[in-house]
């Protein structure tokens, strides 16, 4: 998974997520690394709700309300 620090324009990749939610990718939500698991859950949520607008603040806001990732 993507277990590296975020970069400035990473949020732009969320537009591609509609093409990658395979069964193998969905298993990434169980990654032992909490941040990698959170990234997988976020991307799957984006894929499941394609009409929602995405900006560079979408990921930080999503992450901020999660209590299981710190």
Task: Look at residue 37 and tell me if it is in a domain.
Answer: yes
Task: Look at residue 1 and tell me if it is in a domain.
Answer: no
* The pair of three-digit structure tokens given for residue 65, joined into one six-digit string: 């309300």
Task: Look at residue 57 and tell me if it is in a domain.
Answer: yes
CB 51 within 8 A of CB 18: no
Task: Look at residue 70 and tell me if it is in a domain.
Answer: no
Q: Over the stretch 16-56, which tens digit does the pLDDT of each residue have?
A: 766 666 788 788 889 998 888 888 888 888 888 888 888 88
What does the pLDDT read at residue 1?
47
Q: When comparing pLDDT for 6 and 59, which is higher?
A: 59
Task: Look at residue 2 and tell me if it is in a domain.
Answer: no
pTM summary value? 0.69
Task: Look at residue 5 and tell me if it is in a domain.
Answer: no
Residues 6+ apart with CB under 8 A from 16: none
Domain that holds residue 30: 10-64
With a cut of 60, say whether residue 14 has pLDDT above it: yes
What does the pLDDT read at residue 67?
74
Task: Look at residue 3 and tell me if it is in a domain.
Answer: no
What does the pLDDT read at residue 32?
92
Number of domains in the chain: 1
């Amino acid at each position: 998974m993507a277990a590296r620090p975020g970069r400035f324009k990473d949020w732009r990749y969320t537009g591609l997520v509609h093409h990658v939610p395979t069964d193998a990718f969905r298993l990434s939500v169980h990654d032992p690394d909490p941040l990698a698991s959170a990234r997988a859950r976020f991307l799957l949520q984006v894929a499941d709700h394609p009409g929602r607008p995405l900006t560079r603040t979408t990921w930080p806001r999503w992450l901020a309300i999660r209590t299981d990732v710190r």
